[in-house]
Amino acid sequence: MNRVLVATGGGDCPGLNAVIRAIVKRASKEKNWEVIGSVEAFNGILREPTEIVVLDEKRVSGIHVQGGTIIGTTNKGGPFAWPVKKPDGTYDYVDRSDEMIRKLAYMDVDAVINIGGEGSQKISQMLYEKGLNIIGVPKTIDNDLLATDFTFGFQTAVQIATEAVDKLVSTAQSHNRTLILEVMGRYAGWIALHAAVAGGAEVCLIPEIPYDIQKVAERLESRYHKGRGFAIVVIAEGAKPIGGNVAGVKSDEVGYENLRLMGAASRLMKELKEAGFEADMRETVLGHLQRGGIPNAYDRILATEFGVKAFEMVLERDFGKMVAYRHPDIVSVPLKEVIGGEKLVTPDHPLVKAARGIGISFGD
């Protein structure tokens, strides 16, 4: 019996279950393959007793329509930085990767499929360099992974953000207000850009184009007082003013390394008031609503293609690689090409040009 282990790491994302289902269904077409899942990324392997689940066709039946991940996930710690509490209450971070690789060999695991974002794929590459047969599958609502045109989860997040803009338009119109919607995306403005265009915002503020508050105020002024009497701003959580920093706080959660981005919308509201913009303003932070719920059709399809390809790469022993979408093909790319950078919105991106073409201001 050959055995493949699946793990989902990092923030959850609509489509994770569709990938798991596709891996299991494709594996079931081969003789003598078993798929198992590690609970909460690699924690299931590192814990004693081991926490794994057998993933067979019955278990994954119909899960492609479910949000989240049936095997759980985490964006803290991991095999290279396992938190160990010291007597004084602080934590040491221990490298348990060799122990994990030995345990996987003991469990007769032939290959690992690691579904996750950049942080998870960094771990995949490090494990590959230590000799583990591993394949990555790209996941993130932020769409900021290098080497793939799209990640699954992104289109669902854009749909949710767009529906939020649509709802805000009706209340902004009724009250003659300027409403500011803060969306996720970390240091990339993909969700904000797509939702601003799809929803018809006046202003779209993204990390890649730092904004000048006077320009934002002028644009809102012209739309608010001389135009339609209300305005919508879509701001990415990582947006920042020219010369300023992202709004965020360092998390005190054990093993959580990322800066928690928050406060971009409320800071903007304050800056607009200081700049003399007088309309009534309110902020909405969409938060984790963008990650929850069922994946849309596009993400289910992309996730299914990724899952099938990942298992076929296992059969071909195409390790140290990540599945990627390069329109119209699903290909494999070296993990090395994916890590250490981000796919950001370029100022001359066709969608930025289209947005400017219909009068959306980026505050620059």
Strands (E) located in the chain: 2-8, 33-38, 52-54, 82-85, 91-94, 111-116, 134-138, 177-183, 203-205, 231-236, 248-250, 259-261, 280-285, 321-326, 329-334
Residue nearest to ligand F6P (CB): 184
Beta carbon nearer to ligand F6P, 144 or 221: 144
Q: Looking at residues 61 to 80 of the shown chain, list those that interact with ligand F6P (rule: CB under 6 A).
A: 75
Beta carbon nearer to ligand F6P, 10 or 37: 10
Spatial separation of the C-alpha atoms in residues 233 and 200, rounded to whole Å: 9
Q: Show the site string, 109-148: x = touches ligand F6P by CB under 6 A, - = not.
A: --------x----------------------xxx------
For the CB of residue 122, give the shortest distance to ligand F6P in the complex, in Å.
14
Spatial separation of the C-alpha atoms in residues 146 and 117, rounded to whole Å: 10
For the CB of residue 159, give the shortest distance to ligand F6P in the complex, in Å.
15
Spatial separation of the C-alpha atoms in residues 363 and 320, rounded to whole Å: 42
Torsion sign over Cα 121, 346, 204, 240: positive
- Residue among 142, 149, 166, 252 flagged as catalytic: 142
Beta carbon nearer to ligand F6P, 26 or 186: 186
Beta carbon nearer to ligand F6P, 66 or 258: 258
Strand pairing of 111-116 and 134-138? parallel
Q: Show the site string, 160-199: x = touches ligand F6P by CB under 6 A, - = not.
A: ------------------------xxx-------------
For the CB of residue 176, give the shortest distance to ligand F6P in the complex, in Å.
31
Gyration radius from the chain CA atoms: 22
Strand pairing of 329-334 and 321-326? antiparallel
For the CB of residue 148, give the shortest distance to ligand F6P in the complex, in Å.
15
For the CB of residue 208, give the shortest distance to ligand F6P in the complex, in Å.
15
- Is 267 a residue that touches ligand F6P (CB under 6 A)? no
Beta carbon nearer to ligand F6P, 77 or 117: 117
Spatial separation of the C-alpha atoms in residues 182 and 262, rounded to whole Å: 9
Ramachandran quadrant class, 267 (left: phi over 0; alpha: psi -120 to 50; beta: rest): alpha
Catalytic residue flag (residue 142)? yes
Q: Looking at residues 297 to 356 of the shown chain, list those that interact with ligand F6P (rule: CB under 6 A).
A: none
Beta carbon nearer to ligand F6P, 185 or 320: 185
Give every CB contact of residue 215 below 8 A, 6+ residues apart in sequence: 361, 363, 364
* Structure-block tokens of residue 252: 């005190």
Tell me which of 261, 268, 281, 313 binds ligand F6P, using CB under 6 A. 261
Q: Looking at residues 235 to 254 of the shown chain, list those that interact with ligand F6P (rule: CB under 6 A).
A: 237
Spatial separation of the C-alpha atoms in residues 323 and 305, rounded to whole Å: 9
Among 12, 93, 86, 91, CA closest to 252: 91
Among 204, 206, 207, CA closest to 223: 204
Residues that bind ligand F6P (CB under 6 A): 11, 75, 117, 140-142, 184-186, 237, 261, 291
Q: What is the set of active-site residues? A: 142
